[in-house]
Amino acid sequence: MRTIVNSDIFELVDFGVAGGESLNQRLKSAYRDLDIKYPKFYKMDTFCKVGFLTMEHLMIKAPVSFDPAKTGIFLVNQYSSIDTDLAFHRSYSLHEESLASPGLFVYTLPNILIGELAIRHKITGEHGFFILSDFQSDFIYLYVKSLLDSNVLDAAILGTCEVFQDEVLCAMKLVSSASVLDESLSFDLSKFKEWIKKSPQGR
Amino acid sequence: MAEENESGIVNQGKVFISGQHMISALGFSIGDHVDSFNCGKSGISKENYSFDSYWVGKISDEKLHAERKFHKIPRAFSRLEALSAISILTLRGMVKENLSLQSIPVFLASTKGNIDAIPHHGAASKEHIHLSHSAQRLKSFLSLQHDVTVVCNACTSGLQAIILAARLIQANHITEAIVCGVDVLSEFTLRGFSCLQAMAKVPCQPFDEARNGISLGEGCATIYLSNNSSDAIAQIVGMGVSNDANHISGPSRTGSGLIQAIRSAVDLDSIHIDYINAHGTATKYNDEMEAQAFNALNLQHIPLNSMKGYWGHTLGAAGVLETIAATIAMQQETIWKSLGYENHGVSRPLAVTDTSVKRKISHCLKTSSGFGGSNACLMLKNCAS
Distance, C-alpha B223 to centroid of its chain: 10
The pLDDT assigned to A15 comes to 56
> 10 Å Cβ neighbour count for B106?
25
Q: Is A98 on the interface with B (CB under 8 A)?
A: no
Measured CA to CA, the distance from residue B259 to residue B254 in angstroms comes to 9
> 10 Å Cβ neighbour count for A9?
14
Q: How confident is the model at residue A140 (pLDDT cuts 50, 70, 90)?
A: confident
Measured CA to CA, the distance from residue B376 to residue B293 in angstroms comes to 13
Give the largest Cα separation in chain A, rounded: 59
Q: Residue A183 above 80 pLDDT? A: no
Domain total in chain A:
1
Strands (E) in A103-190, as ranges, are 127-131, 155-164, 167-176
**Smallest Cα–Cα separation from A61: which of A8, A130, A118, A116?**
A8
Mean pLDDT of chain B: 95
- Chain B residues in contact with A103 (beta carbon < 8 A): none
- Chain A residues in contact with B191 (beta carbon < 8 A): 92, 100, 105
Query: Is the CB of B167 less than 8 angstroms away from the CB of A146?
Result: yes
Measured CA to CA, the distance from residue B351 to residue B63 in angstroms comes to 36
What are residue B286's phi and psi, to 5 degrees? -60, -50
Interface test with A, best of B50, B149, B180 (most A CBs within 10 A): B149
CATH of the domain at A87: 3.40.47.10
User: What is the helix (H) or strand (E) element at residue A71, kind and residue range?
Assistant: strand A71-77
Of B135, B173, B188, the CB nearest to A133: B135
Of B147, B168, B373, the CB nearest to A132: B147
Q: Residue B383 above 90 pLDDT? A: yes
Query: Is the CB of A101 less than 8 angstroms away from the CB of B135?
Result: no
Q: Residue A181 above 50 pLDDT? A: no
> 10 Å Cβ neighbour count for B4?
9
- Chain B residues in contact with A149 (beta carbon < 8 A): 171
What's the whole-number mean pLDDT along residues B206-232?
97
**Smallest Cα–Cα separation from B329: which of B48, B34, B128, B117?**
B34
Report DSSP state, residue B116. G
Of A102, A131, A149, the CB nearest to B132: A131
**Smallest Cα–Cα separation from B108: which of B76, B81, B75, B77?**
B81
Mean pLDDT of chain A: 79
Q: Which amino acid is at A50?
A: V
**Complex ipTM value:** 0.96
Interface test with B, best of A52, A83, A89, A95 (most B CBs within 10 A): A89
Q: Is A174 domain-assigned? A: yes
Q: How confident is the model at residue A159 (pLDDT cuts 50, 70, 90)?
A: confident
Through-space distance between the first and last CA atoms of chain B, rounded to whole angstroms? 20
Query: Is the CB of B241 less than 8 angstroms away from the CB of A126?
Result: yes
B20-45 residue pLDDT tens: 999 999 999 999 999 999 999 999 99
Distance, C-alpha A31 to centroid of its chain: 15
A35-83 residue pLDDT tens: 999 999 999 999 999 999 989 988 887 777 889 999 999 999 999 999 9
B338-353 residue pLDDT tens: 999 999 999 999 999 9
Least confident of A3-17, A136-150, B127-141, B293-307: A3-17
The pLDDT assigned to A194 comes to 53
The pLDDT assigned to A164 comes to 84
Chain A: residue nearest B374 by CA?
A115
- Domain assignment of residue A48, given as a range: 2-198
Measured CA to CA, the distance from residue B231 to residue B384 in angstroms comes to 10
B297-338 residue pLDDT tens: 999 999 999 999 999 999 999 999 999 999 999 999 999 999
Measured CA to CA, the distance from residue B261 to residue B258 in angstroms comes to 5
Report DSSP state, residue A178. S
User: Which domains occur in chain B, in start order?
Assistant: 11-116+127-226 (3.40.47.10), 234-382 (3.40.47.10)
A/B interface, count of CB pairs below 8 Å: 180
The pLDDT assigned to A2 comes to 35
The pLDDT assigned to A6 comes to 38
Q: Is A175 domain-assigned? A: yes
What's the whole-number mean pLDDT along residues B238-254?
96
Query: Is the CB of B151 less than 8 angstroms away from the CB of A149?
Result: no
- Chain A residues in contact with B131 (beta carbon < 8 A): 80, 131
The pLDDT assigned to A182 comes to 40
Percent of chain B at pLDDT above 70? 95
Q: Is A203 domain-assigned? A: no
For residue B19, list its beta bridge partners: B224
Query: Is the CB of B147 less than 8 angstroms away from the CB of A143?
Result: no
**Smallest Cα–Cα separation from B195: which of B213, B176, B171, B170?**
B213
Query: Is the CB of B188 less than 8 angstroms away from the CB of A115?
Result: no
Q: Is A38 on the interface with B (CB under 8 A)?
A: no
**Smallest Cα–Cα separation from B84: which of B295, B316, B340?**
B316
Q: In degrees, to the nearest 5, what angle opens at C-alpha A82 toward C-alphas A78 and A86?
A: 160
Of A93, A122, A142, the CB nearest to B245: A122
Query: Is the CB of A119 less than 8 angstroms away from the CB of B248?
Result: yes
What's the whole-number mean pLDDT along residues A155-166?
85
